[in-house]
Amino acid sequence: MGVVNVTPDSFSDGGQWFQPEDAVAHGRVLRQQGADVLDVGGESTRPGAQRPTQEEELRRVLPVVEALCAVAPVSVDTMRAAVAAAALDAGASLVNDVSGGLADPEMVPLVAERGVAYVAMHWRGHSARMQSRARYDDVVADVLRELGERVEQLLGAGVRPEHLVLDPGFGFAKTPEHSWELLRRLEELTALGHPVLVGTSRKGFLGAVGRAAGAERAPLERDVATAVTTVHAATHGAWGVRVHDVVATLDALDVAETLAGGPR
């Protein structure tokens, strides 16, 4: 899943693809590089980010979704049902909701009615305050329990089980230690019986690993670390990975598969 951020403030590449024509060109490049799905989002969910208005999110997302649907399957990364509905009308085939339907009560009825694939992430609140909620007894057990409860609610509301993908929410209401523990025990998450999407790309916990305090790698310097986590995800049951650098991701997977006994 290649990331197309149509935002001025995303933590990794905010502003770089903010103009619709630039975002469309970037999405086409990601597709040529091997992305299976293009994930288009108009709201930054970095820690502390403020939300755009619904009108602004629609303005950012719709022309990009419409254009990229001509070249690849498109996912819309949104917490708003109105944005998801408009993107689906424009040709998107998957909704990637970091709130798992908790931010907008209209989201779950929408995806159930439309019968589309739906990524539901583990979520404890909006970006402006989520890190204050990074408290767990056992992060994996707690995330499993909370995601499991959410799955029951989603299925009860009419979302079909074969359409549901789960995301443990690396970096969302998680400390670096929490994110590493979730990665180490990734196979426990697949025990819930649904595909798992891993979104570690360029996250802060990758920039800090092996570095002294104050010497963390900048987001654009985290693609090698991201590629390593991608190989780990692929060998521990993940359904997919959401990444900024498609080339590094596929190279890492090619090398890992060749070492395991054959080319991809």
For the stretch 212-221, pLDDT in tens is 888 999 989 9
Q: With CA atoms as reference, report the closest residue to 122 among 172, 191, 51, 160.
A: 172
Helices 223-234 and 246-259 meet at what angle, rounded to 10?
A: 50
Could you say which of 31, 174, 217, 242 is catalytic? 242
* 48, 127 Cβ separation under 8 angstroms: yes
CA 14, CA 49: separation in Å to the nearest integer? 12
**Six token digits for residue 238:** 């993940």
Closest Cα partner for 151 from 114, 173, 118, 125? 118
* Catalytic residue check, 174: no
On the question of pLDDT at 264 being above 70, the answer is no
Place of tokens 């690396």: 170
Q: pLDDT band at residue 110, thresholds of 50, 70 and 90?
A: very high
Q: Is the pLDDT of residue 132 over 80?
A: no
C-alpha 14: how far from chain center: 16
Residue percentage of the chain with pLDDT more than 90: 81
pLDDT in tens, 190-208: 989 999 999 999 999 999 8
The dihedrals phi and psi of 17, each to the nearest 5 degrees, come to -120, 30
Task: Report how far residue 209's alpha carbon sits from residue 183's, in angstroms, rounded to the nearest whole number.
Answer: 14
* Confidence (pLDDT) at 214: 85
Catalytic pick from 203, 211, 222, 264?
203
Give the distance from CA 15 to its chain's centroid: 19
Radius of gyration of the chain (CA): 17
Q: Which runs of consecutive H residues, i.e. helices, occur in the chain?
A: 20-33, 54-68, 81-89, 107-114, 139-156, 176-184, 186-190, 204-208, 223-234, 246-259
pLDDT confidence bin for 224, thresholds 50/70/90? very high
Single-letter residue type at 31: R
pLDDT in tens, 135-169: 999 999 999 999 999 999 999 999 999 999 999 99
Q: What is the pLDDT of residues 3-39, one digit of tens each?
A: 999 987 666 666 676 789 999 999 999 999 999 999 9
pLDDT score for 10: 63
